[in-house]
Amino acid sequence: MARRIDRLCLSAVALLLLGACGFEAPAPVRTPPPPTPAIPLSTLSATLSVTTGELARLLNEKTANRIADIRDKPAKCGIGRCRLSLHAERTGPITVGAQGGQLVVGLPFALNADMQLNGSLSFLSGQANADGFAQAATSAALGSDWQVRTRTSGHIELHNSHLRLGPLLMNVTDILGDASDLFSPELFRMLDKTLSDSLREKPRVAKFWARAFTPIRIGKKPTAWLLLSPERIRVGHIAIAGDAVTVPLGVDVRARVLAAETPPAAEPKPLPPPSPLEEASNRFTFAVPFLLPYTQASRLALAALAGKPPRIAGAKVRFTRIDILPSGADVVVAAAFCADQDWDLFHWFSACGSGYFRGTPRYDAASQTIRIDNVRYDLATANMVLGAVRYLAGPELGRALQQRLVFKVANDVARLQNQIRTAIARPQGRDVVIFGTVDGFGPMALTWTNDGFLAAFSATGAVHASVRL
């Protein structure tokens, strides 16, 4: 007991002798911090789908009732050469289905024709009418210029047909023969163009591509933005099945989170040519970095030390400044502090100085905290006060400091994750509407940079897309 009292007295005297003196420690040796990890490349894939019902609606809206109009064209009319004037009007809605990897289009129509025979039979003329049904099959492919190219072919059936030629009443198909070939190419070209226009993907994909560069606000306190940096867009083969036309789409992006009051200006790049997409999974995975700046961590540590200052050698250690500085294999904690005697109410005899400690950043998954472990004196920079404190207190000051260098990030991370869920679930775009569902988040990985502690976790989920025509 006497020895302990003697040691405390010796400590008090030693600190008192250093009182009212300020000492600055030499700057520590620091090496560059670990390089900032490259933002991983993620592929967000989705399947754009256009139903055959939507295509049928567009065809009916864009197709006029008159589907063919031919005037005074030479034709082979079965019993000889003739000149033919013909017009056809559709008599019902166009139907669209999917079969055998192609769109199957059905179009009912009514046909009226006037014919004039040539040569010795030029005195004969006739009027024809018939009901018809055009059935076409269309395949589609996407070119490197983003143009959807369709190829439509089919056949025409005529029934309930009549031709009055002079005093004769005959069947149209018996007399006209292949005259319907005059308007079937025109009809199929019209269907081809309408379908191709309806499946124009370039404007919609270009809008989606440009929209992907726009920052998405995901946080309020602090304000944070999700930034997607698209690098490549991928497209699979157009598939026609199950009453829908589907286009597998993928975007290679690098995603990061930025804490800032105002979003950075979006700088969209031109839409690149499509790259092949081997498989569309309708899944996404991207990394979300969470930065705890050193300035914020230093304020938190100083507040914790002020709330419960450590005691060593019978004196209370009052920290007046904490600065966390990055280094290579660890971080440096620069501290300014004073050793205050309990009886010195005005700190007239406080021993003040500065010093440097070193420690290794860790992420504790159980408590969801970033902490600095193995805090120890940086012996190369210890000044007189720090040397005296180290001599008198041993490792106690380092351990006391380590207990305060703990930064709880559970609430911040949980808030960020909830904000990401909400932001991803919010539909983005107009013509191409894309939204996602976050299934879960991966484990946290910690490193440190010039700016702060950088923790990163992955977000995985499903992405959904639809096309509004």
Quick: pLDDT tens for 279-321.
Answer: 666 677 777 778 889 999 999 999 999 888 888 767 788 888 9
| Helices marked H in 19-92 | 52-62
Residue 61: partners with Cβ closer than 8 Å, 6 or more residues away: none
Contact yes or no for 363/373 (Cβ under 8 A): no
Tell me how far CA of residue 229 lies from CA of 184, 232, 236, 259, 289, in angstroms: 49, 10, 21, 16, 14
Which one-letter amino acid corresponds to residue 376?
Answer: R
| Strands 351-364, 22-23: pairing kind | parallel
Q: Which residues pair with 337 in a beta bridge?
A: 319, 353
- Count of CB atoms within 10 A of residue 201's CB? 22
Contact yes or no for 374/360 (Cβ under 8 A): yes
Mean pLDDT of the chain: 77
- What is the rounded CA–CA span in Å between residue 81 and residue 74? 7
Q: What is the pLDDT of residue 10?
A: 43
pLDDT at 26 over 80: no
Q: What is the pLDDT of residue 396?
A: 76
Tell me how far CA of residue 242 lies from CA of 42, 57, 112, 245, in angstroms: 30, 17, 37, 8
Q: What is the pLDDT of residue 332?
A: 92
pLDDT at 370 over 90: yes
For the chain, helix (H) and strand (E) counts, in that order, are 9, 24
The single-letter DSSP state of residue 4 is: H
- What is the rounded CA–CA span in Å between residue 38 and residue 213? 19
Task: Return the closest-CA partner of residue 408 out of 456, 370, 360.
Answer: 370
- What is the rounded CA–CA span in Å between residue 139 and residue 149? 8
- What is the rounded CA–CA span in Å between residue 174 and residue 79? 9
| Helices marked H in 328-453 | 384-393, 396-404, 410-425
Contact yes or no for 285/44 (Cβ under 8 A): no
Both tokens assigned to 190: 């019209």
Band of residue 119 on the pLDDT scale cut at 50, 70, 90: low
Average pLDDT rounded to a whole number, residues 322-342: 86
- What is the rounded CA–CA span in Å between residue 429 and residue 214? 11
pLDDT at 163 over 80: no
Q: Where are the domains of the chain?
A: 1-62+201-469, 68-195
Residue 266 phi/psi, 5° resolution? Answer: -75, 135
Quick: pLDDT tens for 104-114.
Answer: 999 998 888 88
pLDDT at 24 over 70: no
Band of residue 381 on the pLDDT scale cut at 50, 70, 90: low
Quick: pLDDT tens for 68-79.
Answer: 777 887 776 656
Task: Return the closest-CA partner of residue 342 out of 319, 320, 311, 321.
Answer: 311
**3-state helix vs strand vs coil in the chain, percent to 5:** 25, 50, 25
